[in-house]
Structures are given as structure tokens and as C-alpha cells.
Amino acid sequence: MAGLQRVEYVKSQKGAPQVFLQGHTYTKNKVRGEFVHWRCTASKCKGKCTTAGDFIVNVSGEHLHPPHDMNDYIVETWVDYEARFPLHFWNHHQTAGPRTNNNLEGFHSRLSKQLPHHHNVYRFVEIIQKVEINERAKLQQINLGAAPPPRKRVYREVDNRLFRLQASLRVGTKTSMEFLNAVGHLLKLG
Ligand SMILES: [Zn+2]
């Protein structure tokens, strides 16, 4: 699937998944096998796109309106007082531990490597059962006080730097802007 664009999903105000593509939002229209057909959320607009799995496979139709400005979109979705996802949903200022879902992505990619290319439901169930037994055993170990799996040195170092930066923000040796600049250098988004 190299070369195809990954789908970016957003949520409608009612929580339904929408596709966000080049400043346009699309709502689900039809599902045909592995293809999902979406149409532009603007009423009577002809904009359409098709996804398969996590990829955009087709874009068609002309939009009868300009795209959302990306900055407006970010502000309306994440930043405003009445944003779709209020601050406390996503703010990680005080988080100790993972701040991303990379661990889940890693789990999924390990899982998909184990699965046979040609799906066979019996083999699939077997593998899923094995995975569950393994994960249960790990959980049990952790419940009995075992240390969680060690994190990579580079992530531990990022955490240590964040803690030091937060401390300087608290005691006032860094201003909010200086803090944000430093955190921006430290964390690479996307
Ligand atoms: Zn449109």
C-alpha cells in the first residue's frame, strides 16, 4: 500500500467518525466490502472520498465551498473554550508514563506480523487465544509487583528532561513561553 495517503479521522459533534482530508470533513455514506465511501459534510456538496483500511484510495467530486482553514480547525477542535475535545481530554502536562498510544500501535504491528497473510479464521482464533494467555500472564506478573517492561533509554531521557522543565516552570525560572519552546524542541509530533 506504499504511496497511499493514510486516513485522518476526526469525530463529529455526536461522536461519529469522519474523515478529515485537505480541509474537508466527510461523513460515512456506504460500506462496500473493504471500501468505505464518504461524502462531504457540507449539505448538497459533491465532494466524495473512498477509504480502504487506513488509506484513502479515491477522491472525487468538486467541493462547492472552500476548505476549512487548518488553523481554524485546530483551534475549534482542540483549543477553544467550547472545543470538541476539551483540554482535560488531551493535556499531558502532569502525565507520568506514556503520553502516546505508540504502545498500542506496537502491539498491533506485532500482532499483524504473527497473523497469516491469507486469513484463516481457525488459525486467527488460535493466535488470538495465545496472545490473550500471554497478556494475562504479563498482567498477573505486574499485579504481583513485577516491574513493568523497561522503557527505551531515549524515552526515559525525554521524561527526565520534561520533569526538569516542569520544575523550572513551577519555580518560575522559565516563563510559559520558554517552557513551551523547550518542550516543542524536545517532543516531535506526528
Ligand atoms: Zn464539500
Note residues around ion ligand 1 (Cβ under 5 angstroms). Answer: 40, 42, 45, 47, 63
Looking at CATH, the fold of the domain delimited by 5-70 is given as N-terminal domain of TfIIb (2.20.25)
For 68, other C-beta atoms within 10 Å of its C-beta total 16
What does the pLDDT look like over 136-155, one tens digit per residue? 999 999 999 998 878 889 88
Cα of 27 vs centre of ligand 1, distance in Å, is 11
C-alpha 19/C-alpha 17 separation (Å) is: 7
Note the pLDDT of residue 48.
97
3-state secondary structure of 133: helix
Cα of 42 vs centre of ligand 1, distance in Å, is 5
Note the pLDDT of residue 25.
92
> What are the residues facing 28 on neighbouring strands?
38
Note the pLDDT of residue 123.
85
Q: How large is the average pLDDT for residues 88-114?
A: 83
Residue 4 CA, chain-centre distance (Å), reads: 18
Contact 47/26 with Cβ under 8 angstroms? yes
Say if pTM beats, i.e. exceeds, 0.85: no
Q: How large is the average pLDDT for residues 164-177?
A: 95
Q: How large is the average pLDDT for residues 36-65?
A: 94
Q: With bands split at pLDDT 50, 70 and 90, how would you rate the model's confidence at 189? A: low
Percent of the chain exceeding pLDDT 90 equals 47
What does the domain layout of the chain look like in residue ranges?
A: 5-70, 102-143, 153-186
